[in-house]
Amino acid sequence: MESVQAIKQRFEIIGNDVKLNRAIEKAIQVAPTDISVLVTGESGVGKEAIPKIIHSLSHRKHAKYIAVNCGAIPEGTIDSELFGHEKGAFTGATSTRNGYFEVTDGGTIFLDEVGELPLTTQVRLLRVLENGEFLKVGSSQTQKTNVRIVAATNVNMFEAIKKGKFREDLYYRLSTVDINIPPLRERQDDIHLLFRKFASDFGQKYKMPTIRLADDAINLLQKFRWAGNIRQLRNVAEQISVLESERNISLACLNGYLPNAGNSNLPAIVNKEKKEGDFSNEREILYKVLFDMKADLNDLKKLTLELMKNNDSEKVQEENEHLIQKIYGDNDTDYEEAENESSDFLQLPNAERKQEEITPPVKPQDDKYHFAEEIEEEETLSLQDKEIELIKKSLDRNKGKRKAAATELGISERTLYRKIKQFDL
């Protein structure tokens, strides 16, 4: 069995990170078997090196090795690419075609971006993994294949399974062994080693002196987050090698090639897990507000109907105290104003009751209406007559000042104005 260091030299893998070494060790250990392997990690970390290591150290090393980028093949043709098709199976199928699983029989197939596979293709792939059988598109004849499958993805598979985008049974068949490649930002000591290797390669390629970084530039290089990982680092090294005439690169020069370098070490960690009861977008919030408004409106209708059917407002208030509390809150003044204003629009269904008789009595507050004691009780007075008398008394006491009179009566100034106009006072 080859050592980790020997494998690194053979496949030009640079770095001494513990997690990277562990990933290579697992690849070496699993290579002699036919176990399915799933390589996980962010885009650009170098996942494609692992299936090459596994194939080269397996008993299939003399057979074919094919790498397939599942995300680059259109959904309508991916089944044909992987499993082949019969002549006339679909428009444009002018001849029979052998798919990758048939061509690679006895070898290894690397399915990159396997998380992008359509659900229908996932079902076909699961059958291959379980019993080595597949059907060509447009064929009813089952064919056998003996293929070692190594897959890779940068997708969070558990999240994809939760959303119904990836089959859980297929995930567990693919990930018999899971090999994770760490992102470049977690391999800070390897960043400068990789940059030097890339700079040397590009210096030879473009026949130019190799660029070198100043100490403060190396420090920035190691602290940068490298969202694109090794691929992004390689691109930056190539840009600087080609564009800069000065081969000693300063901090200011390197900073110009790193996007948002000043904020690179301050990541914002966002928890994407949606907790129960949370709203994922503004539409759901709007729906909740509308439903709450509808419930409040139904409660208000119920309370209004009770007021219309009952003359005894105090009894209604007692029986519907929870509704009044919910609609008007703790503010007694709001309830009193709403109660008085309701007299302007409530229409009683009972024919024997007149519209002018529906004005609810003013709710007494403390000793506001002590002047009412001066009014002599008369059996002939109607509720409307008493209301007019109270308004007149209050206006006289406050010398015609409507605001003061409204405050004394416990109603809004607007309501008092309507009463004055209604009764022609």
> What domain range is 132 assigned to?
4-182
For the chain, how many structural domains are there in total? 2
User: Residue range 260-271: average pLDDT?
Assistant: 55
Question: Which of 247, 263, 279 is the last residue in one of the domains?
Answer: 263
Share of the chain above pLDDT 90, in %: 57
Q: What was the pLDDT predicted at 328? A: 55
Share of the chain above pLDDT 70, in %: 76
Q: What was the pLDDT predicted at 399? A: 81
Question: Which of 202, 229, 263 is the last residue in one of the domains?
Answer: 263
Residue 376, in any domain of the structure? no
Residue 206, in any domain of the structure? yes
Specify the higher pLDDT residue, 309 or 94: 94
Residue 177, in any domain of the structure? yes
Q: Are residues 117 and 169 in the same domain?
A: yes
100: phi then psi, degrees, rounded to nearest 5: -60, -35
Nearest in space to 45 (alpha carbons), one of 84, 82, 17: 17
Q: Are residues 46 and 71 in the same domain?
A: yes
Specify the higher pLDDT residue, 234 or 388: 234
- Asked whether 112 and 68 are in contact (CB, 8 A), the reply is yes
Instruction: Categorize the per-residue pLDDT at 329 as very low, low, confident or very high, splitting at 50, 70 and 90.
Output: low
Q: Are residues 131 and 204 in the same domain?
A: no
Q: Are residues 158 and 204 in the same domain?
A: no
Q: Are residues 175 and 190 in the same domain?
A: no
Q: What was the pLDDT predicted at 354? A: 43
Alpha-carbon distance of 333 to 120, in angstroms, equals 65
pLDDT tens digit sequence for 25-49: 999 999 999 999 999 999 999 999 9
Q: Are residues 172 and 202 in the same domain?
A: no
Q: Are residues 221 and 102 in the same domain?
A: no
Q: Has residue 194 got a pLDDT over 70? A: yes
Residue 231, in any domain of the structure? yes
Q: Are residues 156 and 123 in the same domain?
A: yes
Alpha-carbon distance of 309 to 317, in angstroms, equals 13
User: Residue range 173-184: average pLDDT?
Assistant: 95
Q: What was the pLDDT predicted at 130? A: 93
Residue 275, in any domain of the structure? no
Alpha-carbon distance of 288 to 258, in angstroms, equals 44
pLDDT tens digit sequence for 131-162: 999 999 999 999 999 999 999 999 999 999 99
pLDDT tens digit sequence for 43-80: 999 999 999 999 999 999 999 999 999 999 998 899 99
Asked whether the whole model's pTM tops 0.75, one would answer no
Residue 158, in any domain of the structure? yes
Q: Has residue 86 got a pLDDT over 60? A: yes
Instruction: Categorize the per-residue pLDDT at 313 as very low, low, confident or very high, splitting at 50, 70 and 90.
Output: low
320: tokens are 């519907």
Residue 209, in any domain of the structure? yes
Alpha-carbon distance of 280 to 206, in angstroms, equals 51
Residue 156, in any domain of the structure? yes
Question: Which of 147, 182, 217 is the last residue in one of the domains?
Answer: 182
CA 194 to chain centre: 35
Q: Has residue 360 got a pLDDT over 80? A: no
Q: What was the pLDDT predicted at 355? A: 44
Q: Are residues 240 and 131 in the same domain?
A: no
